[in-house]
Amino acid sequence: MTNSKSKTILDLIGNTPLVPIHKLNPNPRVEILAKLECFNPGGSVKDRPALYMIEEAEKKGELTKDKIILEATSGNTGIGLALVAAVKGYRILLVMSESVSEERVKILRAMGAEIKFTPARLSTDGAIEFVYNLVRERPEKYWLADQFNNEANWKAHYYGTAMEIWKQTGGQLDVAMAAMGTTGTLMGLARRLRELDKRVKIAGVEP
Q: Is 88 a catalytic residue?
A: no
Q: Which residue among the candidates 5, 23, 46, 201 is catalytic per the annotation? A: 46
Are 101 and 34 found together in one domain? no
Domain boundary among 94, 127, 144: 144
pLDDT in tens, 158-171: 999 999 999 999 99
pLDDT in tens, 31-76: 999 999 999 999 999 999 999 999 999 999 999 999 999 999 988 9
Are 29 and 65 found together in one domain? no
Average pLDDT over residues 97-118: 96
Decide if 159 is inside a domain.
Answer: yes
pLDDT in tens, 138-193: 999 999 999 999 999 999 999 999 999 999 999 999 999 999 999 999 999 999 99
Q: How confident is the model at residue 4 (pLDDT cuts 50, 70, 90)?
A: low
Decide if 4 is inside a domain.
Answer: no
pTM of the shown model: 0.94
Decide if 121 is inside a domain.
Answer: yes
Least confident residue range of 2-6, 42-46, 97-101, 153-157 = 2-6
CA angle 39, 40, 44 (to 5 degrees): 95
Are 84 and 166 found together in one domain? no
Are 51 and 85 found together in one domain? yes
Measured distance CA(162)–CA(33) in Å, rounded = 14
For residue 3, pLDDT over 80 is answered with no
- Percent of the chain beyond pLDDT 90? 91
Are 75 and 107 found together in one domain? yes
Torsion-angle region of 13 (φ positive above 0: left; ψ -120 to 50: alpha; else: beta): beta
For residue 1, pLDDT over 50 is answered with no
CA angle 196, 202, 205 (to 5 degrees): 150
Sign of CA dihedral 59, 64, 69, 70: negative
Task: Return the exposure string of 161-186: e unless at least 16 CB atoms fall within 10 Å of the residue's CB, then b.
Answer: bbbbbbebeeeebeebebeebbbbbb
Decide if 3 is inside a domain.
Answer: no
For residue 17, pLDDT over 60 is answered with yes
Which CATH number goes with the domain that contains 190? 3.40.50.1100
Domain boundary among 144, 161, 190: 144
- What pLDDT score does 25 carry? 87
- What pLDDT score does 5 carry? 74
Three-state secondary-structure class, residue 29: coil
